[in-house]
Structure 1
């Protein structure tokens, strides 16, 4: 997907999210993000979109101004729909003002800039819509191609140099000597192999034999890997090989509310 396709999907996912949460109980707990209420979830989704819009639209190479400009969501849940949709529209406008090679700060450590943020917004919208579904008892569905893109975002961000350096607990848990995990979406093109090394987790887009292989629908893979659905509640996933290695991986995907 290119940047424009990512932003189109962000608008669509945000619109669905906004329809779901509109005028709902702001104090409702979010089971998949135990520290959050529905108001916290809405605040996060809309405010992050606005921060990214500022980063990209103003071509920031240092993030402090955008962080300081964090705008909380409305207290009145009857205003949430419009506020969320406005945030997605602002993001679209910001990205149309730049090109993929416009210098923009991002936390990956790879200077990925504009492409990083367009995909990051899609991953945010897809995963946090799952959070809304858990809070509201709504059925969650996601097209396989979008689930693959959200998986790419999650895995690439979690294995980035920036994440490794800024999350020492994660780095300590993920250090290894070559253990490999293979993730394979069965309903859309998408395969990844993560290799635990002493100083990083290396990610490759390939098909190869691994210590543990996890196969299944892309949306189910996304929900389990992002800790939005317990592995035991995902009967469509096949786990072959060292199941404990995969369980260890899931347990340390601690970027739950980010």
Structure 2
């Protein structure tokens, strides 16, 4: 996916999130304990602006976050979106930018990350409003599956294993297969961290389904009703627990 596509998707999900969340800013966000939809919009605004400032400064902005916007969370999100739009349209994806993911220190990392941030929280706004979840484009969903497994789980579990508590201690490298059509990834949690590969090895457990259903399950936004689970359920539970730690 290219940067124009990511920005197009950010625009769509920002608009849908704003429209849905502002109907009732006091509504509870089911998968974000303690949050209202006002908190959700503020969080996304904070996140967008944080990445804008990071790209501009070449350093993490401190102090953070800024003071609450007196015009409210919707206006704050609008300002953050305008700033993000300007930053991503004025920079090339290969341009150097500070990120927390060592293998990719580019603006393109943030275009991808903010697109996936926006779609997950757009879904949060829809769930808070009790509305059906609008389809997630397949290209974004497949890209999001790769991101959460490779970036949030595999890289983070080796870089910051302490963040995973005791979740890695009993892991023994047995694999869970995650499949969307012909796209298949093997996830092997071990005490030293998680490895993700696309080889054809046998897995002791498997999860398969449509790309949107898999992505939302990985992010803890779905109960897996549309997925097929097979093999050792304890391995699936361990994976889910590790993902919860990875995405906090």
TM-score tier by shorter-chain length is: 0.7 to 0.9
**2:192 aligns with one of 180, 191, 199:** 199
Alignment pair present for 1:22 and 2:22: yes
Contact 1:170 1:254 survives alignment (8 Å): no
Alignment pair present for 1:156 and 2:182: no
Match of 2:82? 89
Normalised TM-score (structure 2): 0.87
Q: Aligned pair in 2 of structure 1 residues 46, 172: CA closer, same or farther (>3 Å)?
A: same
CA RMSD of aligned residues (A): 2.5
Q: Aligned pair in 2 of structure 1 residues 11, 251: CA closer, same or farther (>3 Å)?
A: same
> Offset of 1:18 from its aligned partner?
0.9
**2:126 aligns with one of 133, 158, 182:** 133
Alignment pair present for 1:168 and 2:162: yes
Distance 1:33 1:256 in 2: 15
> Offset of 1:32 from its aligned partner?
0.7
Q: Aligned pair in 2 of structure 1 residues 74, 22: CA closer, same or farther (>3 Å)?
A: farther
User: 1:5-154 residue pairs with structure 2 within 5 A?
Assistant: 5-24=5-24, 26-56=25-55, 58=56, 60=58, 62-63=59-60, 65=61, 67-71=62-66, 74=69, 80=74, 82-141=75-134, 142-154=136-148
Runs of 4+ in 1 over 6 A off after TM superposition: none
Normalised TM-score (structure 1): 0.84
Distance 1:84 1:162 in 2: 28
Contact 1:214 1:239 survives alignment (8 Å): yes
Residue correspondences, number: 246
> Offset of 1:99 from its aligned partner?
2.7
Give structure 2 stretches of 5+ with no counterpart. Answer: none
